[in-house]
Amino acid sequence: MSIPAVLGVSGIRPKIVDQAEVPIIVDGTEGRVILWPDEETLQRYRRKCEESERQELQLLETSLLAAVSKDGVEVKVMANIDLPEEIGEAQRFGAAGVGLYRSEFLYIEKSPEMPTEEEHLAIYRHLIEASAPHPAIIRTYDLGGRKIAREVMETREANPVLGLRGIRLTLARPDIFRTQVRALIRATVFGELWIMLPMVTIVEEIRQFRAFCEEVMAELEEEEIPFSRDFKLGSMVEVPATAMITDILAREVDFFSIGTNDLIQYSLAVDRNNEHVSDLYRPLHPAILRMLTQVIGNGRAAGLEVSLCGEMGADPELTPVLLGAGLRRVSVSPRQVATIKRRIRELHVEGLDRLVRDCATLSTGEEVREFLSQHLGPAGVVGLGANVD
Ligand code: PEP
Ligand code: MG
């Protein structure tokens, strides 16, 4: 939303409460908060602001171009949307459709009321039409966990992140979630809709959801409400067990989307919101690299589209790693779309697969970082004997 933010700065609150006059610099790029900056720092940051405005103009030029690497590999860079108003930014920065609409934000916005079928439908229609000719990937509610849903949760949970969350909650309360599923199926008449399920861990969840859709479609037929059967159904891969069975899961769905925010949290047993362990939250842990390569490989071998919609996709330094792992579709916040497209356009993809394979055999995330800094130039692999100009 273009609001700079820095999270997990412990001990800062007492320093700033009741001090309305304190000048503060919030540097969301570097992850710094500077209290009482001196004149020199203020000047430096004013120059930085001007520079970032200039860069933004350059990025807007990139947004008109396709995300094609120097050696001709095309990548679809899509947008993650929390609020429907963000679609304008996504279009401005040249997104290839919506890669993740977090529909639970609609619920959170309306709470304590439940959104109506017509409210769901209007938003889905808007996102689908604005995404054309690309698809819009709409995720069913990912409520539960930390996205508390008081209206639908019947009991308190001691460990909600491992509890009734995402698809589990949807299937547990079909009475409540029918409204959303009806709106999704009705939205299929407006263009290309891919429906995505969060927190899938077992194949039965997909089968049950399909049966739920069949029921809803029979109901709509009865009511003579139009819909199309021509939509894709996909699973998020956010849990290590799910990653391990992607060859099996591929028989049940039309696409995967890797949710690295949760996949890293659950794989490394590191709460993604806990500042005390935030240094252990490591996207380059060899286990994560192995999992990514495996999931993307399994999906592609089965002819499925594989996307990645976690924050890992939004870091241009990691773009070569993701391309090397075989990724050809990624979804990031609207403002990062052009940055990632620009990075892709600078790169040669050839040789990156070998680089990632080598990284996955190293012992630690730090070694991986070091290896990458030695073997990654601005245009791709260097010093591994790959054929790169
Ligand atoms: C993820 O887990 O990577 C993801 C995209 O979902 P969320 O951040 O909404 O949990
Ligand atoms: Mg998630």
**Ligand 2 is a single-atom ion; what residues have CB below 5 A from it?**
238, 259, 262
Which CATH class name applies to 71-381? Answer: alpha beta
Name which residue sits closest to atom 1 of ligand 1, judged by CA. Answer: 259
Instruction: Say if strands 76-81 and 329-332 run parallel, antiparallel, or are unpaired.
Output: parallel
Task: List ligand 1's pocket residues with C-beta within 6 A.
Answer: 100, 102, 142, 238, 259-262, 309-310
Between the CA of 16 and the centroid of ligand 1 the distance, in Å, is: 31
Pocket probe mutation, ligand 1, options 236, 237, 308, 330, max atoms within 8 Å of Cβ:
236
Name which residue sits closest to atom 7 of ligand 1, judged by CA. Answer: 261
Task: Round to whole Å and give the CA distance between 263 and 20.
Answer: 40
Ligand nearest to the CA of residue 199, numbered in listed order: 2
Task: Round to whole Å and give the CA distance between 153 and 166.
Answer: 12
Between the CA of 348 and the centroid of ligand 2 the distance, in Å, is: 30
Name which residue sits closest to atom 6 of ligand 1, judged by CA. Answer: 259
Q: Which of 345, 309, 177, 148 is nearest to 156 (CA)?
A: 148
pLDDT digit string, tens, across residues 74-83: 999 999 999 9
Which range of 62-71, 152-161, 213-222 scores highest in mean pLDDT? It is 213-222
Task: Round to whole Å and give the CA distance between 245 and 234.
Answer: 14
Residue 349 DSSP class:
-
What does pTM read for this prediction? 0.91
What are the backbone dihedrals phi and psi of residue 295, each rounded to the nearest 5 degrees, phi first? -65, -45
pLDDT of residue 160: 86
Between the CA of 309 and the centroid of ligand 2 the distance, in Å, is: 9
Task: Round to whole Å and give the CA distance between 267 and 273.
Answer: 15
Task: Round to whole Å and give the CA distance between 100 and 127.
Answer: 11
H/E element, 371 = helix 365-375
Cis ω before 112 (30° cut-off from 0): yes
pLDDT of residue 388: 43
pLDDT digit string, tens, across residues 226-246: 999 999 999 999 999 999 999
Task: Round to whole Å and give the CA distance between 153 and 169.
Answer: 8
Strand partners, 194: 137, 232
pLDDT digit string, tens, across residues 314-369: 999 999 999 999 999 999 999 899 999 999 999 999 999 999 999 999 999 899 99
Q: Give the position, in ligand 1's atom list, of the atom nearest the Cα of 262.
A: 2
Residues 6+ apart with CB under 8 A from 369: 284
**Sequence ranges of the domains in the chain:** 22-61, 71-381
Local confidence band at 4 (pLDDT 50, 70, 90 cut-offs) = confident
